[in-house]
Amino acid sequence: MAWALRIFRIFWSKPIRAGARQFPDNQRMSSTTFHPSVAPVPLKQDASIIALVGLAHAASHFGHLLLPPLFPVFMVEFGLSFSQLGALMSVFFVVSGLGQASAGFVVDKIGARPMLFGALSLFALAALLASTITSYSGLVMVAALAGLANATFHPVDFTILNQRVSPARLGHAFSAHGLTGNLGWAAAPVFFVGITAMSSWRTAYLAAAVVFVLVLALLVVNRDKLSTQVAVQHPDTPAEHSMAFMKLPVVWWCFAFFLLSTMTLAVVQSFSVSILKAMHGISFESATLTLTAYMLCGAVGVFVGGFVASSARHSDRVVALSMAAAAVLLALCGTGIFGATLTMVVLAATGFAVGVGGPSRDMMIKKATPKGATGRVYGLVYSGLDTGFAISPLVFGAFMDRGWYSATLIGAGAVLLLSVVAALGVGQRTLKPVVKTAKLA
């Protein structure tokens, strides 16, 4: 925890002044409630909460890649085809998407902390089960269990951040949240492949189970920093009131944005290496390094985007500009006009553009969220991410099978442009006033 606190002190040298105190979602200040007498929130308190939630998010992304790094091993061990391996991820995303849409209701009812502890326990159980499997059906069970564990994290994380972190630091909190997720993605392949090379894949999964247990233990020790207030339903309120948020058009515009933007990310993650090899004759190693550079540039973009999100008044416009820039760059890569080397550079730069919009995207969703419905809204909206990951390989995989490599990148850029329309649609339909808070010195 000490390293995290030092990092946050670099960027926030002074505490927030009056008006920045944490409020539950159903007790947020209006623009007219500004009390100079309210005590400032210490930086250490916010930093601790952000670091703990970031650690949990890193663990969820680590669990997101519980199976894929060892797909080549499973092909040999169990005689599997690419279609069977792809079906494992379909199981993961379907379970995660359905679970995420419903998990938000539970988070709002019982609080985020119990759900967080349960999710980490499920990931530990999935890793333990993976160490004992002897058939393809066992892998399917692991994928389903990991998908169920993954379903909880976004509604949990954002409920904690929105309730417990000072409003003026939320942009930085969302940035740290995105960064730690990318770090979890980056750590998983190295962890599983490295331990498998030194010992065996079963040992790697046992070690992963230990990692999840250690993260869970640390969060339990610091559980007081993760408590949240639940949405209280009055006795005279109709039961269907909890579903009222689903009637809001802005929620579905948010869902559409996540679905469309994630479809593009799935194209880059799944097919960019093959496209670079086919269009420019780039070696497998160089093409893979380009994908790695894309993810690293994305992480840098998320870092920069945290400062942008903290100062921008119109989050939807920041998101729209970032995604539009990325869409243009991606489409230009698809035309083949850059040549091999410059295409790799521009594709990596696309990751930076997408990353810059990440924290503002989360701020955009926050502004569109009705009071007392944080878990439900984030759960439904982020299920669009799982839906995009599930649909994209089916659509663009057909392009790839026909050798339409250029059309795949251009099509991905076109889909990302559609997400720009969705982002602006969210901004136009967000009626919630922006909370005025003191700026950080």
Q: Does 122 share its domain with 251?
A: no
Closest CA to 344 of 265, 286, 418, 419: 286
Domain-embedded: residue 13: no
Q: Residues 93, 97, 98, 99: what is their CA dihedral angle, to the nearest 10 degrees?
A: 100
Q: Does 49 share its domain with 130?
A: yes
Percent of the chain predicted with pLDDT > 90: 29
Domain-embedded: residue 438: no
Write out pLDDT tens, residues 274-315.
888 889 888 867 877 787 788 788 888 888 888 887 777 788
| DSSP states along 271-340 | HHHHHHHHHH---HHHHHHHHHHHHHHHHHHHHHHHHHHHH-S-HHHHHHHHHHHHHHHHHHHHHTTTHH
Q: Does 249 share its domain with 308?
A: yes
Write out pLDDT tens, residues 12-47.
333 333 333 343 433 333 333 333 334 567 778 889
Q: Using CA atoms, how far apart are residues 243 and 294, in angstroms rounded to an integer? A: 39
Q: Is the pTM of this model over 0.75?
A: no
Q: Does 399 share its domain with 350?
A: yes
Domain-embedded: residue 9: no
Domain-embedded: residue 441: no
Domain-embedded: residue 30: no
Q: Does 135 share its domain with 210?
A: yes
Q: Does 345 share its domain with 419?
A: yes
Domain stops at, among 203, 228, 253: 228
pLDDT at 214 (0 to 100) = 98
Closest CA to 80 of 125, 165, 163, 143: 143
**CA distances for 328 relative to 273, 279, 283, angstroms:** 19, 18, 25
Domain residues for 57?
42-228
Q: Using CA atoms, how far apart are residues 327 and 419, in angstroms rounded to an integer? A: 10
Q: Does 50 share its domain with 114?
A: yes
Tokens of 9: 């002190």
Residue 134 is given by DSSP the state -
Domain stops at, among 228, 251, 273: 228
Q: Does 216 share its domain with 303?
A: no
What's the number of domains the chain is made of? 2
For residues 258 and 379, the answer to whether their CB atoms sit within 8 Å is no
Domain-embedded: residue 10: no
Residue 79 is given by DSSP the state -
Among 10-24, 54-68, 408-422, where is mean pLDDT lowest? 10-24
For residues 263 and 394, the answer to whether their CB atoms sit within 8 Å is no
Q: Does 74 share its domain with 132?
A: yes
Domain-embedded: residue 83: yes
Among 109-113, 162-166, 305-309, where is mean pLDDT lowest? 305-309
Domain-embedded: residue 436: no
Q: The CATH number of the domain where 103 resides is what? A: 1.20.1250.20
Q: Confidence class of residue 104 from pLDDT cuts 50, 70 and 90?
A: confident
Q: Does 207 share its domain with 250?
A: no
Among 116-125, 319-328, 357-366, where is mean pLDDT lowest? 357-366
Q: Does 217 share its domain with 302?
A: no
Q: Of all helices (H) and strands (E), which one includes residue 387?
A: helix 374-401
**CA distances for 150 relative to 79, 103, 227, angstroms:** 28, 10, 20
pLDDT of 210 higher than 90:
yes
Q: Does 247 share its domain with 156?
A: no
What average pLDDT score do residues 230-259 get?
Answer: 69
Domain stops at, among 185, 205, 228: 228
